[in-house]
Amino acid sequence: LSERLGGVFDRLTRQGALTDADVATALREVRTALLEADVSLPVAREFTKRVQAKATGQHVTKSVTPGQQVVKIVHDELIAVLQGEGPADALKIDNPPAAILMVGLQGSGKTTTTAKLAKRLKDRQGKRILLASLDTNRPAAMEQLAILAAQVGVDSLPIVAGQTAVQIAQRAKTQASMGGYDILMLDTAGRLHIDEVLMSEVQAVRDIAQPRETLLVVDGLTGQDAVNVAAQFDGQVGISGVVLTRMDGDGRGGAALSMRHVTGKPIRFVGLGEKVDALEEFDPERVAGRILGMGDIVALVEKARETFEAEQAERMAKRFAKGLFNMNDLKTQLDQMLKMGGMQGVMGMLPGMGKMQKAAAEAGMDDRMLRRQIALINSMTKKERANPDLLQASRKKRIAAGAGLEVSELNKLLKQHRQMADMMKKMGKGGAMKQALKGMM
């Protein structure tokens, strides 16, 4: 526990200038976070290099630690990279019938996304839409699109057996013009891997359909592979935007950064489920937070500032600077943690704490534990709080009973207090603590 708490306090209270070493340390963590989030290695490398250039020599904001400052820079840079130009709904779909070509690997979610997007454009922009499946490999795929089209209330091109993808595209185009449709969406066939047959077929379809938009559908759970897929499709077919599917899964969405980095094309939408309305505009901020796995470290700093009252911090800073840390101080800290959303809340806001959070919950370390510890301190006398060394067996028994808990639990609390007091003493020596606590106000 002390290690975990130590980490919390370290991040809350360390402060200084943003040195090369600070930046390097933080960036190592960031790069690991990126790789864990399935960002491809070259992209992660290049990205951290850019952040390094930006971060080095930057003025440290008074209210955050250097580590947090770097993470904030990374966070902002991530958002900047992820943010394409223009809003998601800025698809080029004027001059009816505008063709939208959907490309991607098999199973990436093309057909589903086609239906989702059709529904969205119909519902929100009142467009008349025709869907056509060019998946000649799998007859079931054409049926699938027709069923989905009916479900979302748009038309689909009647299925004619034996036609090639190019023939179907031609027929769809004619039908879209004659039928007075605003938009023609072409759902292409995919392969499990990129190959020449797939690419030349898509190219031929593109030449016939002259799409205004070519959207690459990518499974948001794919990692390293996403880069190849994006580079190949963009190079050989030319894409105008990206849709990331399965962002409802527990992947960390690193594919988004790889996509942006490799293609420079905007990510328009994200798929958040199998249902036809599970499609949302891409939100760079959300994905950036998810990639860093940091909940929001900036929020942590802000929350700490909000809840930490100025006088209290000042008073504590003075005490800690003298190496004083008694039970009252510990209680203040525990109250503080509870206010900030408890152990879960605090840990959830720190990078890489997801696993620990789970472990902590399993070990019974949660808000209830914080409350039990506070109850123990509450049942101590004033004297005992000020001087925990007084606590011998009989007093311990009384205190534990007063809180309705076992003595063993009190012993744990005392051990924790000792460890923290030692830490405070160490930090107090350099006067760093005072500065740090002041900085939090």
Annotated binding site for GTP: 104-111, 187-191, 245-248
Are 21 and 439 spatial neighbours (Cβ–Cβ below 8 Å)?
A: no
| Residue 271 binding partner per list Mg ion, ligand GDP, none, with a CB distance cut-off of 5 to 8 Å that depends on partner kind | ligand GDP
Nearest to 216 by CA among 84, 316, 342, 108: 108
Are 385 and 377 spatial neighbours (Cβ–Cβ below 8 Å)?
A: yes
Interaction of residue 7 with ligand GDP, rule CB under 6 A = no
What is the three-class DSSP state of 100?
Answer: strand
> H/E element holding 242?
strand 241-245
**Degrees (nearest 5) of the Cα angle 219, 129, 148?**
50
| Residue 289 binding partner per list Mg ion, ligand GDP, none, with a CB distance cut-off of 5 to 8 Å that depends on partner kind | none
Among 111, 222, 240, 357, binds ligand GDP (CB under 6 A): 111
Smallest gap from residue 230 Cβ to Mg ion (A)? 19
**What are the tokens at 331?**
């209680």
Helix, strand and coil in the chain, % to nearest 5: 60, 10, 30
Nearer to ligand GDP by C-beta: 194 or 405? Answer: 194
Q: Which residues contact 289 (CB under 8 A, 6 or more apart)?
A: 75, 295, 296
Show binding-site residues. Answer: 104-111, 187-191, 245-248
Binders of Mg ion in range 80-139 (CB under 5 A) = 110-111
Nearer to ligand GDP by C-beta: 117 or 297? Answer: 117
Query: Nearest residue to Mg ion, using CB?
Result: 111
Looking at 238-283, list the stretches that DSSP marks H as alpha helix, in order from N- to C-terminal side. Answer: 254-263
Nearer to Mg ion by C-beta: 103 or 129? Answer: 103
Among 13, 15, 68, 108, binds ligand GDP (CB under 6 A): 108
- Rounded to an integer, what distance in angstroms lies between the CA atom of residue 439 and that of residue 72? 17
Smallest gap from residue 218 Cβ to ligand GDP (A)? 10
**What are the tokens at 20?**
């090369």
Interaction of residue 136 with ligand GDP, rule CB under 6 A = no
Stretch of residues binding ligand GDP (CB under 6 A), selected from 76-84, 109-117, 198-206, 297-305: 109-117
Interaction of residue 139 with ligand GDP, rule CB under 6 A = no
Nearer to ligand GDP by C-beta: 169 or 297? Answer: 169
Strands (E), 75-212: 98-103, 129-133, 155-156, 183-187
Interaction of residue 245 with ligand GDP, rule CB under 6 A = yes
Binders of Mg ion in range 130-149 (CB under 5 A) = 141
Interaction of residue 281 with ligand GDP, rule CB under 6 A = no
Interaction of residue 112 with ligand GDP, rule CB under 6 A = yes
Q: Which residues contact 78 (CB under 8 A, 6 or more apart)?
A: 47, 257, 284, 288, 291, 292
Name the region of 88 (left: φ>0; alpha: ψ -120 to 50; beta: rest): alpha
Interaction of residue 190 with ligand GDP, rule CB under 6 A = yes
Interaction of residue 106 with ligand GDP, rule CB under 6 A = yes
Backbone angles phi, psi at 336, to 5 degrees: -60, -45
Burial class (CB in 10 A: 0-12, 13-18, 19+), 386: middle
Smallest gap from residue 274 Cβ to ligand GDP (A)? 4
Interaction of residue 274 with ligand GDP, rule CB under 6 A = yes
- Rounded to an integer, what distance in angstroms lies between the CA atom of residue 330 and that of residue 374? 9
Binders of ligand GDP in range 85-104 (CB under 6 A) = 104
Smallest gap from residue 234 Cβ to ligand GDP (A)? 18
Query: Nearest residue to ligand GDP, using CB?
Result: 271
Q: Which residues bind ligand GDP (CB under 6 A)?
A: 104, 106-112, 190, 245-246, 248, 271-274, 278
Q: Which residues bind Mg ion (CB under 5 A)?
A: 110-111, 141
